Amino acid sequence: MQPQIPIASITDEFSPDLAVALDAMVEIGMTGAELRVLWGKNIMDLSQDELQKAKALLDERGLEVISIASPILKCVLPGAPEVDTRFQQDVFASKHSFDDQPRLAAHAFSVAKFFGARIIRVFSYWRSVNPEACFDGVVKALDTLAKEAAKEGLIIGLENEHACNIATASETKKVLDVLPHENLQVVWDPANCLISGENPFPEGYRQLPPKRIAHVHIKDCHLDGHKPVWGPVGTRSVDWKGQMAALKADGYPGFVSLETHWAGPGNNKYEASWICGWNLRGLASL
């Protein structure tokens, strides 16, 4: 049962202790890592010594850093309509304002190059009650980021995030249509699309140009109103078998990366990610 698509995880889904997380990931058969929160600190806030320590642990285990899971554009867009409070705003040990974004982006480029990561994940400002009113502001920010990333040979990966203004596949497609930059691609998250009221597969996925999907996040849930109820990957409302088959058929060259979210048996997040990691391996091996 060898994965036909390489598998990875956001490390803190297993543990904030990077060594603990990486050992579990290696045992499951993961070959890639996304860096978001390490030792309780957001990747953007680590000291140079902490970055060096992380790189040594990754190198020892032969894991490739595939993405810097930054919080860029997880903030309020000035002048936007009020924030839609139906959606939980996860900040993952990081809280930055609009004014912080240029500094944050420059640092993310530096961290990505330090680890040899190709993708920097970004968002589209906290979702307002009228996302369309934020579209021009989102496009302006992403255009700037993509142009800067091109100079560095990096990819800006826009994640469709249910708590941000670009949440569904149809909203993502509108951005891609306006911004044809090769350096602006998608971090496709089917579960986030589901939470946002759009069926992620096949309808959502088929709206996206496959060649502009740089990365895929794996988690699963069903909905209780607007609230996601998380569970083991492959057991809820996302058609992961269909999605995986489509990725393979379309020649997807990237990783599929676990973002568990499920609290797990007895609220044991490590156990949750262990279960979901093995489920992901099975799905990627079909």
Query: Do the domain assignments include residue 73?
Result: yes
What would the pLDDT profile of 244-268 be if each residue is shown by its tens digit? 999 999 999 999 999 999 999 999 9
pTM of the model: 0.97
**pLDDT grade for 93, boundaries at 50, 70 and 90:** low
For residue 1, being part of any structural domain is answered with no
Q: Which residues contact 196 (CB under 8 A, 6 or more apart)?
A: 160, 162, 167, 168
Owning domain of residue 65: 7-285
Percent of the chain surpassing pLDDT 70 = 99
**CATH code, domain carrying 107:** 3.20.20.150
Per-residue pLDDT, averaged over 151-158, amounts to 98
The span from the CA of 138 to the CA of 95, in Å, is: 19
Contact indicator for 12, 34 with CB cutoff of 8 Å? no
Side chain identity, residue 38: L
Residue 134 identity (one-letter amino acid): C
The whole-number average pLDDT for the span 43-62 is 98
Asked if residue 80 has pLDDT above 80, the reply is yes
The angle formed by the CA atoms of residues 56, 59 and 64, to the nearest 5 degrees, is 125
How many domains does the chain fold into?
1
DSSP conformation class of 40: T
Residue 105's nearest CA partner among 131, 80, 77, 142 is 142
pLDDT of residue 1 exceeding 90:
no
Residue-averaged pLDDT of the chain: 96
Tell me, yes or no, whether 280 lies in a domain. Answer: yes
Within a 13 Å sphere around the CA of 129, how many CA atoms are in the beta-carbon half?
4
Please, which residues have CB within 8 angstroms of residue 236's CB and are 6 or more apart in sequence? 220, 221, 222, 229, 230
Q: How far apart, in Å, are the Cα atoms of 115 and each of 7, 53, 67, 68?
A: 18, 11, 9, 9
Contact yes or no for 95/52 (Cβ under 8 A): no
